[in-house]
Structure 1
Amino acid sequence: MSEMNWLHDKRTECYSVQTTMSVGDYIDLIKTAHSARGALSGQRDTLKTTTAKRIRDRMVGDLRRGAILPPVVIGAVVDEAKFAEYPITKAKTPTDILPDEVRKDLSIIDGMQRTSALLEAVEIDSAVRNNQMRVEFWLTKNVRTMVYRMLVLNTGQVPWTLARQLSVVFAPLLNEVQDKVPEINRMFTPDKPGRRVNPGEFSSDALVELYLAFSLRKTNVDTKEALSDEFSRLDFVENLSDKSFQEYFYTTLSVLTKLDVSFSRYDNGTNAKFSKGRNIFDSQPARIGFTVATAQHVLGRPGMDRESTDRESRMAQLEKNALALLSKLETMNAEELGDFLKLDVLAETLDRRVGQVGRYERGVYFEGFQVLISENFELRNMEPCWRAN
């Protein structure tokens, strides 16, 4: 292990630390993350085309002959206290700069294919473990700057879907969500699956989709295919450049969850589709509708971005109005809450026979929550929301 070279990125308030380490030490470091989160290769699929396989086979052969690969970039999100210690000029190893709890959530920002080749080469020839390689650690105190680094600086490579790029910072993003939005009672993940039975419970996939929808300010976000609209990618980058963007998302998620908990006090005891207030946000279209309505109100429509001061005042006022509504709902008994929610009107609106049901439902909820926001959350009941479409 050689000494570490520190550079401070003033634009994103991060540290870039480059060092040289043995392939064996690098693999051991990666295996820590692997054992804690399942197959690390799931962050970005190893390319499976015939050409890609032949190139990787050639890379494995070159590694066995002592080839040096371009630096692999590893991302790590640390807490404020640890970040304040940087730069640690006497640091010699990743252990010196990364706390134990961070090492299991490392992200390979750049170099998944090279890492796959290294693992394969070591499996074939253990002597490769002694080879030296360059590694860059990208140290940040929040997820936003890591996503910004990934989207802006990792250009000109094999295209990723936007969802795939976000999955690279999947673990730290969800960790930050749990820290910043304590109202969320439970989060389901592929490693810890579950079913929503109470308010404030969401799957990790649903939360990542909400993050995408909030930034893109669109109700229909294709998280499986490559993003065809480059303007959407640009919108994402522009939002991430706003230091307050991440906090706006967490505030939105907090308000949504508080409404979910409050609505859930109503239950008419039947087996109807909308018999419980919780049923509203059981639906991902409803969550996305609220998230995007809030995003457009605060951030502006795509292509019509608001100034940062306007965003800040709008977010503060929206949160204030939402909390006032929540206080009002707390004074209602179950019957009064049911009259306010007007679930029968919502059920009738959603029961129309239409094509592309998911798209239709997102539109209903988006327009409905736009009404709620535009009326400053001061409605006698929710019927105007459910009849807005």
Structure 2
Amino acid sequence: MRRYNILERGEIMARMQDTTLLFDSRVKCFSLMTALKIGDYLKLVEKAYAARGGLQHQREALKTTTARRIRGRMISDVKRGAVLPPVVIGVVVDQEILENIPDFKPDDVIRMMSDTLVDSISIIDGMQRTTALLDAMDQDHTVSEKVVRVECWIAESTDSLIYRMLVLNTGQVPWNLSRQLQVVYAPLIKEMKKRIRFERVLNREKAERRTKSGEYAPDDLVQLYIAFALKKTDVDTQETLADEFSRLDMTDALAEDQYNHYFYPVLQMMLDLDRAFSRLDDEMPAETEETGVKKAIKKGRSIFDSQPARIGFVVATAIAILGRMGMERKADESQKRLTEIIRQVSNFIARLDEMDVNQLTDFLRLDVLSERLYGQKRSAVGRYERAFFDAAFKVLIEEKFDVPTMEPSWRV
């Protein structure tokens, strides 16, 4: 039997690199495990890396002394031919592409990702390794010819990627729920844009601010996404997001496809109400704002300028449709309630559209809302406002959106 020296064995192993494509039928997601030349991998994720993983809040290269020493050791090992643990990237594709993935050769899938899908790639796990690979290649250009294992998650829905992360990664990745959602931040917002008729999704990096109804910041939308699943208004603390019950609640919501069936319609209703309330801004005479009693809230748009109001609406509607935690309704009952609330909101908005500016001003009762929110000093203002709007929109839902004015809601 022929004996191979170490160099020959390395060459044989390099030729044996293979690609494995598995279909996760639970969440309709493909997992493509392959090995790429380091230079090809870095070209593939160049844009994602430049944007800190392709997502806001992704961890940049660590700069602590310990981290630098570890990365230095990793760079040295890579140059000497070490094989790193697989880096994980994710991409969301449309249904037609997803269905054809089994017919593509692995090289064709990677080529497609580097061409038409490159802008939607996110580095899910491997920012620090990618940094080490970049540094190693800067120090030694021959590193570009070495290989790195890469796992690609290919899914039609962002929910599939989030579900995989929550179920399969929480046992080994020390992230809280907020971090896990931020990892698929970019494709999540992209999916929202497809499903919801936004006026505009703001760009935080350009310091864009909301100037009219239907405009929301991406991180605020992600927070609504979390609040819907947890059915609680207090979703802005790390303690709440890291709680194991919250993690399980989030997983259950994803497992039951609640986002596709319920969250997006609820978000669209909120946006439609935002537009209806904001008609007061468009028709309000200029002198109306400057006369009378000075109010903290003067415009209809100001209601949903507030993130607590958005969270209050989403949570109140989620509970009305899906039931409270531990008292979840069956799917047919939830669908029936969603259909009914959509009809009620539509009738409510049609009624608002028929009002002139004076009638709309009287109906919204912004003076009452201002007094309830800002009439006295309070501690934990943010928590108070979220609970207030949750209760206010519950009144509107309980009354089937058939109220003489908004005062019954603001008086809770």
Give the Cα–Cα distance (whole angstroms) in 2 for the partners of residues 214 and 358 of structure 1: 18
Partner SS, residue 280 of structure 2: coil
Give the Cα–Cα distance (whole angstroms) in 2 for the partners of residues 169 and 92 of structure 1: 24
Tell me: CA distance 1:38–1:59, structure 2 relative to 1, closer, same or farther (3 Å): closer
Rg comparison, structure with higher value? 2
* More divergent stretch after superposition (90-99 vs 198-207): 90-99
- Whether 2:132 is the aligned partner of 1:108: answer no
Q: TM-score, normalization: structure 1?
A: 0.92
8 Å Cα contact 1:255-1:319 kept in structure 2: yes
- Whether 2:333 is the aligned partner of 1:303: answer no
- Whether 2:401 is the aligned partner of 1:377: answer yes
In the TM superposition, residue 334 of structure 1 has moved relative to its aligned partner by 1.4
In the TM superposition, residue 149 of structure 1 has moved relative to its aligned partner by 0.9
- Whether 2:227 is the aligned partner of 1:213: answer yes
Equivalent position amino acid for 2:217 in 1: S
8 Å Cα contact 1:341-1:381 kept in structure 2: yes
**RMSD between superposed Cα atoms in Å:** 2.2
Could you report, residue by residue, the CA deviation over 1:99-146 in whole angstroms, capped at 9, with x for unpaired residues?
744211211222222222222222222221111121111110011111
Q: TM-score, normalization: structure 2?
A: 0.88
8 Å Cα contact 2:53-2:123 kept in structure 1: no
Give the Cα–Cα distance (whole angstroms) in 1 for the partners of residues 200 and 132 of structure 2: 37
Which residue does 1:63 correspond to in 2?
78
8 Å Cα contact 1:161-1:226 kept in structure 2: no
Matches for 1:37-52 after TM superposition, within 5 Å: 37=51, 40=54, 42-52=57-67
Equivalent position amino acid for 2:243 in 1: D
Give the Cα–Cα distance (whole angstroms) in 2 for the partners of residues 385 and 231 of structure 1: 31
Which residue does 1:359 correspond to in 2?
383
More helix by share: 2
Tell me: CA distance 1:225–1:114, structure 2 relative to 1, closer, same or farther (3 Å): farther
* More divergent stretch after superposition (93-102 vs 340-349): 93-102
Give the Cα–Cα distance (whole angstroms) in 2 for the partners of residues 342 and 77 of structure 1: 44
Matches for 1:152-231 after TM superposition, within 5 Å: 152-182=167-197, 184-222=198-236, 227-231=241-245
- Whether 2:329 is the aligned partner of 1:314: answer no
Give the Cα–Cα distance (whole angstroms) in 1 for the partners of residues 235 and 309 of structure 2: 14
Give 1:4's match in structure 2, choosing from 19, 27, 35: 19
Tell me: CA distance 1:74–1:226, structure 2 relative to 1, closer, same or farther (3 Å): farther
Partner SS, residue 250 of structure 2: helix
Give the Cα–Cα distance (whole angstroms) in 2 for the partners of residues 117 and 260 of structure 1: 47
8 Å Cα contact 2:52-2:59 kept in structure 1: no
Which residue does 1:280 correspond to in 2?
303
In the TM superposition, residue 314 of structure 1 has moved relative to its aligned partner by 1.9
8 Å Cα contact 2:48-2:123 kept in structure 1: no
8 Å Cα contact 2:24-2:30 kept in structure 1: yes
In the TM superposition, residue 196 of structure 1 has moved relative to its aligned partner by 1.1
Give the Cα–Cα distance (whole angstroms) in 2 for the partners of residues 38 and 68 of structure 1: 23
8 Å Cα contact 2:166-2:251 kept in structure 1: yes
In the TM superposition, residue 376 of structure 1 has moved relative to its aligned partner by 1.4
Which residue does 1:259 correspond to in 2?
273
Give the Cα–Cα distance (whole angstroms) in 2 for the partners of residues 119 and 192 of structure 1: 28
Matches for 1:332-343 after TM superposition, within 5 Å: 332-343=355-366
Could you report, residue by residue, the CA deviation over 1:18-52 in whole angstroms, capped at 9, with x for unpaired residues?
111101100010103345x4665852344455444
Which residue does 1:81 correspond to in 2?
96
Tell me: CA distance 1:243–1:97, structure 2 relative to 1, closer, same or farther (3 Å): farther
Give 2:69's match in structure 1, choosing from 54, 61, 68: 54
Equivalent position amino acid for 2:169 in 1: N
Aligned length: 386
* More divergent stretch after superposition (185-194 vs 41-50): 41-50
Give the Cα–Cα distance (whole angstroms) in 1 for the partners of residues 125 and 162 of structure 2: 12
Equivalent position amino acid for 2:44 in 1: L
